[in-house]
Amino acid sequence: MRKPLGTIVGARSGDKGGDANIGVWTRTPEAYEWLDSFLTTEKLKELLPEAGQVTRYELPNLKALNFVLHGLLGEGVASSTRFDPQAKALGEWLRSREVEIPEALL
């Protein structure tokens, strides 16, 4: 069923210099299993085309993934021309993207 990713995923984002971080997590092991296989770096780039170079980290004990979007903020918050120069809303932007979510997880 097509729904916003945020229907089953929480997110928090921010900046570290010119890089942006997005942490995403689920509440259940089943949802994490799906998220782990679904949200690859390629899929993240499809959902957030501005992402550029991305590194993904798996945190299975937390049922979470972390993504570092390298260079997204240029030289950092003081020089970024993005609407969200600290990447605080990036996680919510990701959560708003509509994706196919298995009905069993809804």
Per-residue pLDDT of the chain (106 residues; tens, 9 = 90+): 999 999 999 999 888 778 889 999 999 999 999 999 999 999 999 999 989 899 999 999 999 999 999 988 766 555 545 444 456 788 999 999 999 999 999 9
Structure tokens, 97: 């993207």
pLDDT at residue 106, rounded to an integer: 94
CB atoms within 10 A of CB 22: 26
Strands (E), 36-80: 53-59, 64-70
CA distance 47 to 51: 9
CA dihedral 83, 51, 48, 79 (to 10 degrees): 0
Q: The whole model's pTM is what? A: 0.87
pLDDT at residue 77, rounded to an integer: 56
Q: Could you give the number of structural domains in the chain?
A: 1
CA distance 97 to 19: 21
Range of the domain at 12: 2-105
